[in-house]
Amino acid sequence: MDEAQYRADQKVRAELTEQTLKVTEQSQPTPTQEENDLLRLGLMHPDEKASPDNPEMPSLAAQQALIEKAQPAPSQRPPAPGGGAPGAPVNRDVPHLQGNGAVGEVLTCTKGNWEGEPTSYAYAWKSNTAAVGGTGDTYTVAESDAGHGITCVVTATNAGGSTHAPPSNAVHVEGGAGRSVPRR
């Protein structure tokens, strides 16, 4: 979600919230709505409900609570407008490994593209699913990697927090001594 879309969504949410508050102040929930709200909160047992076969929409207060829960998580928010503290970075393009899968060769991991102005990046290298060390953007293929797929996970950090990107593409390492190992 780009910043313009985020702002448009926030404006719509604010307008809906304002309208809901006006209507909520002028209305009272029906007894069935009150019972449904109590059931949802676990404050009433279904056997206690006066009209069990008469489902009704949640009350306006319960609907407002649902709207508030629908706010995007801080890690999904772009930087705050007007210079406030940014949200955690948001990954837009997955990091990519460059290089070949020969033992002794160096693989390089791009950081991908991010929103939220990251101030630092950390790299975690994996051979299949096992961590193989290395925290920089390059990794030298080891003999123990033969027959495995090497991937990299990049974590971006800013004042708002940290976010892990999905794993990069896998580079498959050939078997040693000229033999080929099937890809998994």
151 close to 167: Cβ distance less than 8 angstroms: yes
Residues 163-183 have a mean pLDDT of 74
105 close to 174: Cβ distance less than 8 angstroms: no
Q: CA 153, CA 95: separation in Å to the nearest integer? A: 8
Residues 100-110 have a mean pLDDT of 92
Q: Is the pLDDT of residue 159 over 50?
A: yes
Integer CA distances (angstroms), 159 to 74, 88, 106, 155, 163, in order: 12, 7, 32, 14, 12
pLDDT, tens digit, 9 for 90 and up, residues 64-89 = 666 666 555 544 555 455 555 668 99
The helix/strand/coil state of 155 is strand
Burial class (CB in 10 A: 0-12, 13-18, 19+), 143: exposed
For residue 40, what pLDDT is reported? 67
Integer CA distances (angstroms), 134 to 102, 106, 124, 137, 139, in order: 18, 12, 7, 8, 7
Residues 94-100 have a mean pLDDT of 92
Question: Where do the domains of the chain lie, and which CATH numbers do they carry?
Answer: 3-71 (no CATH), 90-172 (2.60.40.10)
Other Cβ atoms less than 10 A from the Cβ of 48: the count is: 11
Backbone angles phi, psi at 77, to 5 degrees: -90, 140
pLDDT, tens digit, 9 for 90 and up, residues 50-67 = 655 545 555 566 666 666
Amino acid letter, residue 69: K
The four Cα atoms 48, 53, 57, 58 give a dihedral, to 10 degrees, of 10
34 close to 59: Cβ distance less than 8 angstroms: yes
